[in-house]
Amino acid sequence: MWSLLVCAGPSGVTAQAPNLQTAAPAPQTATPPANDDALRLNRDVVTISVTVSDPYGRFVTGLDKTHFEIFDDKIKQDISFFSDDDAPITLGIVYDVSGSMESKVSRSLHALRRFVETSHNDDEYFLVGFNQRAQLLRDFTTSGESVVNSLTLVQTDGRTALYDAAYIGVEKARQGRHQKKALLIISDGQDNNSRYTFSELRDLVREADVQLYAIGIVDLVHDSELGAYGESVLEELSRSTGGRAFFPSSEEELVDVCTQIALELRHQYSIGYYPTAEIRDGRWHKLKVKVDPPPGLPRLAVRAKEGYFGLKR
């Protein structure tokens, strides 16, 4: 039976599901169940993490595969894999320690602790810190608390290499042991010191099977808003992966946002299919996910990655 999951704070819609045995924005060769047709052994599988919510932003759980339709380049696909289990993930935290974050560290760490407390017990984490340069501060660990503690003694100074840090984070997340992978970026401004360009980062994000979430933190007294360009960058990167960008305006909202993201990652559907057409062509394949709500539910909102690059043979 379907159900609604109510989440405190601002709207953070989602549905429960981990990722399947094989997940990749650029598809990989999958090992189907033993009773599958042998011809499928050399075929590619595409998997998608899907978030579903009602008009009030409440997570909708309990749907089954008959409620979903997947379109790959406008061609409807047969759903072969479906799951709504709460599976652990590999999660990278990309944290801004530039000079402008000095007055914001304490409240962002408080929110980050709430995020860790709400996450799956078997999640694995890593931490990338950045100011004028980005570096891995904490390698893979199952202790989210140790990641947060690693930031308590960090000195904030310097400029901001956001693109470099996100690039490193995506590459590191791809090495994680869990099939489902995500990146949480916490920053307060635009990039002004990266070697990688936005276009290079965007291409990597679209190739990798890593959901990206971003939180833009502003100073409640001295800052106005994040620049329009900085907001659009975070929104575009996260949207293309099926994630979201948030710009909380208060400490309470910041804590709520962190809780929402953690709950969203635990309440997503994972859907997989064997594409009907050849996809090892190096092209961008546009995805569209639709949901047909069961009787008694209103119109539902669906969020998923926008597409994937087909790997060349």
Please tell me which residue, 3 or 22, carries the higher pLDDT value: 3
pLDDT digits (tens, 9 = 90+) for 199-219: 999 999 998 999 999 998 765
pLDDT digits (tens, 9 = 90+) for 287-297: 999 999 999 89
- Between the two ends of the chain, the Cα-to-Cα distance in Å is 42
pLDDT digits (tens, 9 = 90+) for 214-251: 998 765 445 555 567 778 889 999 999 999 999 998 88
Give the pLDDT score at 120: 87
Q: Among 23, 77, 83, which residue's Cα sits nearest to residue 289?
A: 77
Domains, the chain: 3-86+267-309 (no CATH), 89-263 (3.40.50.410)
DSSP one-letter code for 4? E
Please tell me which residue, 108 or 32, carries the higher pLDDT value: 108
From CA 97, how far away is CA 166, in angstroms rounded? 14
User: Burial of 228 by CB count in 10 Å (0-12 exposed, 13-18 middle, 19+ buried)?
Assistant: exposed
Please tell me which residue, 185 or 6, carries the higher pLDDT value: 185
Cβ(271)–Cβ(70) below 8 Å: yes
The β-bridge partners of 240 are none
Give the pLDDT score at 7: 45
pLDDT digits (tens, 9 = 90+) for 119-176: 888 999 999 999 999 999 999 999 999 999 988 878 888 899 999 999 999 999 999 9
Task: Give the number of other Cβ atoms within 10 Å of residue 233's Cβ.
Answer: 23
**Once rounded to an integer, what is the mean pLDDT over residues 266-289?**
90
**Residues listed for the chain:** 313
From CA 291, how far away is CA 182, in angstroms rounded? 23
Cβ(128)–Cβ(92) below 8 Å: yes
pLDDT digits (tens, 9 = 90+) for 35-77: 444 344 446 889 999 999 999 989 999 999 999 999 999 999 9
List all residues 6 or more positions away from 270 whose beta carbon is below 8 Å from its beta carbon.
17, 18, 19, 20, 23, 47, 48, 49, 50, 81, 82, 83, 84, 85, 87, 180
∠ at Cα 157 (152, 161), nearest 5°? 100
Give the pLDDT score at 227: 66
